Amino acid sequence: MYKKNLIIAAAVCLFSLQIYAQAPAKEKEQSNAEAFSAKAGTLMQKEFIEIGTVKKAKVQVLYYTDLISNIKKSALKFEYDVVSSYSTDTKVAILDVDEIDGLMKSIKLMQDKVMLTVPVNYTEVYYRSRGGFEGGCFTSKGAWSCYLKLEKYDSKSYVWLESADLTTLYGLLEQAKAKM
């Protein structure tokens, strides 16, 4: 009887250790601008400059200023409201200034090279920022589908684009870059 209780107690201990040893939840990836704005011990000012919209996704330039040290950073912000039957959830992506050129080059490559032909096999092409934003295209039913995904781990943060919307997005990125 004693051995049986000992084995059961050992099994319970091992099981509980296994539960606590699980990997911690993945934290949201952040852009450098988001990390700057989240610093403790600062008096942070945010200024939002409207650039335009693409498929109901707002594009803004965001200026962060640490009013104590007078250090400034700017970033590009995408904001998209997802409406469900009971609530509205706002999805946000922040891109650092140094990531905008990569996104613009990616859009041009998709338009000028990738989307000219449709491959036989399923294909995905995408640009990803350090904050988890993703923009790209994939083949579906013999045609290309384009998208922006604002939050890496959220399937509801997709903004579906037509190929012509890539030109609009590129123009908004040019405007935003000029204001940074």
pLDDT at 1: 57
pLDDT in tens, 111-133: 999 999 999 999 999 999 999 99
53-57 average pLDDT score:
95
Is residue 38, in this structure, part of any structural domain at all?
yes
- At 137-164, the pLDDT tens digits run 999 888 999 999 999 999 899 999 998 9
pLDDT value, residue 3: 56
Q: Model confidence over 70-114: pLDDT tens digits?
A: 999 999 999 999 988 888 899 999 999 999 999 999 999 999 999
Query: 25 falls in which pLDDT band (50, 70, 90)?
Result: very low
146 within some domain: yes
Which pLDDT score, from 0 to 100, does residue 157 have?
Answer: 93
- Residue 169 has phi, psi (to 5 degrees) of -60, -45
* 156 phi, psi to nearest 5 deg: -90, 0
Residue type, 133: F
- Give the number of C-alpha atoms closer than 13 A to the C-alpha of residue 65, restricted to the C-beta side: 7
The answer to whether residue 112 sits within a structural domain is: yes
Sign of the alpha-carbon dihedral angle for 102, 107, 113, 119: positive
pLDDT band at 52; cut points 50, 70, 90? very high
CATH (domain of 117): 3.30.2450
Q: Is residue 13 domain-resident?
A: no
Shortest CA distance to 60 belongs to which of 86, 88, 90?
Answer: 90
What is the C-alpha to C-alpha distance for residues 62 and 71, in angstroms, rounded to an integer?
14
Q: How confident is the model at residue 173 (pLDDT cuts 50, 70, 90)?
A: very high
Average pLDDT rounded to a whole number, residues 19-25:
47
Domain membership flag for residue 9: no
* Residue 44 domain-assigned (yes or no): yes
Residue 23 has pLDDT above 50, yes or no: no
Instruction: Say how many domains are in the chain.
Output: 1
On whether residue 20 sits in a domain, the answer given is no
Structural domain boundaries, residue 133 = 32-178
Q: Is residue 92 part of a domain?
A: yes
